[in-house]
Amino acid sequence: MSTIRLGLDIAFVSIDGIPLGASLQPLQLQPHLALGSLGLTVLIATVVALTAVSAFVLQGRAADNRRRIAIIGGLIYAVALLSFWAGVRILFWRFAAEFPSDLPFVLPIMIGVGMLFITQWGGATILYLSYRFRIAGVWLFATTWGTVYAFVFVGGEGTPTFFLILWLIYFGPATLGVLAVLAGTELAVRNRERLITIVQGITED
């Protein structure tokens, strides 16, 4: 890969003379879409999310060992999302990390976020396969879509792991909290008649 700088604020990135992304990209300080198109970004996020949910639903047909399926599926899910994050930054933006010197800093964050992605997939899988919570599939689609969409944004990052750190300390735990609330809501709807009976019994007493 070669980078030819033109002036102070223009970069042209190519591999063997073939441009990647837009031919000339201003080195913007504000976050912007790496692909340069909102429609294309939405399409890619939707395709990735639908693929994840399709695999999520189909895995239930071979659910002999649900724990193993949850772990293996989570590993594939984590590797796919982390590869997408890294690929966008390598191909379309300045990957502001020097390897191998920055590896001791970058690797633990990637492992932490990978564990978070595995937990997201595993939690949704267990809820769906073991307890038939349909909301888990909807949640997985929304979470995957939002993750892919956010990872397409580049620029304004103090470090290459900026978005990963946000996912690790804020967005990831928040999405798991949302999953818990949604699962609790679906459980309440399923057992609404029983809950109504209990409430009526309490009020009569």
Residue pLDDT, tens place only, 84-104: 988 888 787 665 555 556 677
133 DSSP assignment: -
Residue pLDDT, tens place only, 14-62: 434 434 444 334 444 577 777 778 899 999 999 999 999 988 888 766 6
Asked if 109 and 161 count as a contact pair (C-beta separation under 8 A), the reply is: yes
The domain spans of the chain are: 1-30, 31-204
Average pLDDT, integer, range 106-113: 89
60 or 198: whose pLDDT is higher?
A: 60
Does the CA dihedral 188-192-198-200 come out positive or negative? positive
Residues β-bridged to residue 5: 11
